[in-house]
Amino acid sequence: MATKAVSSPMIAGFPAMSAQRLLVFGGVALIAGGMIFGEIFAVFVLHQNGGKTGEALLAATKAVTAQNPEAVKQAFVSIGGLLEDRGTKVDTHVHMTDAGYLALLLALVQSSVALSAPRKRFLAKLFLLGGTLLPIGIFLIHYVGLAYSPFPVIGWASILADSAGALLIVVLTAEVWGLWRHFRGQPEAVASMSHVGTAAAGCPAERSSADPAPTWEERALLGGGTVLVLLGFLYGAWYAGKNLYEQEARERNILSFMLDAAVKTPDLSGQFVNSYGMLAAERAVQIAAHSHIIEFGLLAMLLSFVQRYVFLNAVWKRRWVVLLLLGSLILPVFVWLELKVGLVAGGIADVGGLLVVIALIGMLAGMLRYSGSVDALRGAQP
Amino acid sequence: MSRDRKVLIFGGLALAAFGMFYGLHYALFVEHQTLDQLGGSLATAFVSAAERKLPESRAALDRYAAIRYDYVRQVDVHSHWIGLAMLMIVFGAAFDRVAFSGSIKFWIALALTIGAIVFPLGVILQTVSHGSALASALAILGSGLVIMALAATALGFARQGAPGGA
């Protein structure tokens, strides 16, 4: 992989251990970590958890038939545990990737945050700490439960997660305060706000003739990302209009039929439990398709801003971009097709997710090479 | 910095902070209790059926459906406000590349901002009064504005790359 010379403005824009660099690296690492966690969850937990939930629900209907309220309660304790297990893992995945997105966003506006460099660095570290502890806290909720907790419904893991969330809010508030100071106190400096497509700091905000034209990779990621987000919103609107209320009514009916059957025609209970499971799966894949295509669209747009920090030759940079956009389309489309085509589609969706992870790691490697070369050049300068 | 970028960046940051406050408040004071009620009402429906108290069972099932209706929308509002806020900030950073005149870009930015606020607001208002026409109208109006602004932005990005584009 050939490399290009690094220009001085770029060196100024990405100093070692700066807030920008911490947020860019930390953000991409959080996104990659969240996606890898999501892949592991999809392959090893999701379907198994759904199967166990179905079994527990069937046990509950059998207990209704046997007129055994205690067994019903036991079955629901089991269902509650399974749902919490699944829910906290989904939330871990979502919050880790979203914290990564926010870190990248903050990196983009760092040059317009009117705070001292050490303070910005401190805020960046706090943000990454919060972004790491929040998903860890959420993940532990299921395992820690209410052990040694002084509260009736909130356990220590929830306290950790909520504290980390509060930390993120504090950092975000401080960053907004810094932005406010920048725009209020230095109006003449507004024009010199970083143009994020050029560099995260030290480059003009408004496009001028001095700005280099957007590269193919930047345009592909920005345009492709916007189209992905648009597709996701159109699908979400279609889902809300066509499926949301229908599925809510169907869930109510299936549960009602399930209980009637458990009381009057026990042989039919299993069918309704299956219908309930199918509804849950239908709902899950439709929502996952909607949220993933939008998240990947946002990710593509965010990555368009850091392409100039990817220190690889044009061919490799294009490969990672194409791989990322391809995976971003494959995953949601095949997640959506999972109920129609079966587990093969699920496998293809997982491959799509893997393509995105590989592209992310490829870009991260390029950014590490960039920062290494910047540091080496800086060290060589008198 | 142009007006459209100011609207998107500051609007996005404010909306993200608001969405996080809402999420924190929800996680601390509402979610655990809601989940308890959700599981409790469904379990009560089954326990009542096991005791052959069918009217109580149906009432508990209705309660479950109502709580679930609220829960889904409360969680959706949190994720949609923050998601849309991030989208606004990203667009704010790249809006110079949208190949339209300044006034058109400002209206696109304004439409996206209003849509990003109003769409989740309409969704959460649905929990105040189930089936409220006003709340649904707000949600539809907001999502329509977001979709139109997104389509216009995508077109603007495409024009930039086209011959004769900005």
User: CA dist A339 to A49, A87, A278, A280, Å?
Assistant: 17, 21, 9, 11
Q: Could you say which residues from 87 to 116 on chain B have a Cβ atom under 8 Å away from some Cβ of chain A?
A: 87, 89-90, 93-94, 96-97
For chain B, give the percent of residues with pLDDT over 70: 96
Residue A64 to residue B46, Cβ atoms within 8 A: yes
Q: For residues B50 and A68, is the Cβ–Cβ distance under 8 A?
A: yes
Range B35-51 average pLDDT: 92
Range B74-86 average pLDDT: 90
Residue A72 to residue B157, Cβ atoms within 8 A: no
Structure tokens at A252: 């109510």
The ipTM of this complex is 0.89
pLDDT of the residue at A3: 44
Q: For residues B98 and B160, is the Cβ–Cβ distance under 8 A?
A: yes
Separation CA A34–CA A31 (nearest Å): 5
CA distance B16 to chain A (A): 9
- Residues in chain B closer than 8 A to A184 (CB atoms): none
pLDDT at A379 over 70: no
- Tell me, yes or no, if A195 comes closer than 8 A to chain B by beta carbon: yes
Helical pair B54-94 and B3-25, crossing angle rounded to 10 deg: 150
* Residue A2 burial (10 A CB sphere; 0-12, 13-18, 19+): exposed
Half-sphere exposure (CA, 13 Å, Cβ side) for B64? 21
pLDDT of the residue at B132: 86
pLDDT of the residue at B163: 52
pLDDT at A2 over 60: no
Half-sphere exposure (CA, 13 Å, Cβ side) for B31? 19
Cα angle value A27/A30/A33 (rounded, 5°): 150
Residue A176 to residue B14, Cβ atoms within 8 A: yes
- Tell me, yes or no, if B150 comes closer than 8 A to chain A by beta carbon: yes
Range A339-347 average pLDDT: 87
Check the CA dihedral B102-B107-B108-B109 and report its sign.
Answer: positive
Among A5-14, A215-224, A335-344, the minimum mean pLDDT is found in A5-14
How do residues B81-104 score in pLDDT, each as one tens digit?
Answer: 989 998 998 999 889 989 999 999
pLDDT of the residue at B114: 97
| For testing contact with chain A, the best of B90, B95, B153 (most A CBs within 10 A) | B90
pLDDT at B10 over 90: no
- Tell me, yes or no, if B136 comes closer than 8 A to chain A by beta carbon: no
Structure tokens at A183: 């725009």
Residue B68 lies in a domain: no
Residue B51 lies in a domain: no
Amino acid identity at A341: V
Q: Is A193 helix (H, G, I), strand (E, B) or coil?
A: coil
pLDDT of the residue at A61: 94
Residue B157 to residue A206, Cβ atoms within 8 A: no
Range of the domain at B127: 3-29+75-159
Structure tokens at A120: 């910005």
User: Any idea where the domains of chain A sit in the sequence?
Assistant: 8-380
How do residues A69-124 score in pLDDT, each as one tens digit?
Answer: 999 999 999 998 898 899 899 999 999 998 999 899 888 888 889 999 999 999 99
Q: Could you say which residues from 44 to 63 on chain A have a Cβ atom under 8 Å away from some Cβ of chain B?
A: 60-61, 63
Residue B20 to residue A168, Cβ atoms within 8 A: yes
pLDDT of the residue at A378: 64
In chain B, how many domains are there? 1
- Residues in chain A closer than 8 A to B71 (CB atoms): none
Spell out the CATH class of A8-380. mainly alpha
pLDDT at A205 over 50: no
Per the rule left: phi > 0, alpha: psi between -120 and 50, beta: everything else, A310 is: beta
- Tell me, yes or no, if B137 comes closer than 8 A to chain A by beta carbon: no
At residue A211, what are phi and psi to the nearest 5 degrees? -70, 135
Check the CA dihedral A84-A86-A92-A95 and report its sign.
Answer: negative
Helical pair A343-380 and A19-41, crossing angle rounded to 10 deg: 160
pLDDT of the residue at A380: 57
Residue B86 lies in a domain: yes
Q: For residues A99 and A30, is the Cβ–Cβ distance under 8 A?
A: yes
- Tell me, yes or no, if B151 comes closer than 8 A to chain A by beta carbon: yes
pLDDT of the residue at A204: 33
- Average confidence score pLDDT of chain A: 85
Cα angle value B160/B165/B166 (rounded, 5°): 75
Residue B42 to residue A76, Cβ atoms within 8 A: yes
pLDDT at B20 over 90: no
pLDDT at B150 over 90: yes
Residue B134 lies in a domain: yes
Separation CA A123–CA B40 (nearest Å): 42
- Residues in chain A closer than 8 A to B27 (CB atoms): 158, 161-162, 165
pLDDT of the residue at B166: 46
Q: Could you say which residues from 333 to 372 on chain A have a Cβ atom under 8 Å away from some Cβ of chain B?
A: none
* Residues recorded for chain A: 382
Q: For residues B139 and B36, is the Cβ–Cβ distance under 8 A?
A: no
Range A311-337 average pLDDT: 94
Among A177-181, A197-201, A278-282, B88-92, the minimum mean pLDDT is found in A197-201
How do residues A250-268 score in pLDDT, each as one tens digit?
Answer: 999 999 999 999 999 888 8
Which among B6, B21, B160 has the least Cβ separation from residue A169? Answer: B21
How do residues A53-83 score in pLDDT, each as one tens digit?
Answer: 999 999 999 999 999 999 999 999 999 889 8
Q: Is B165 helix (H, G, I), strand (E, B) or coil?
A: coil
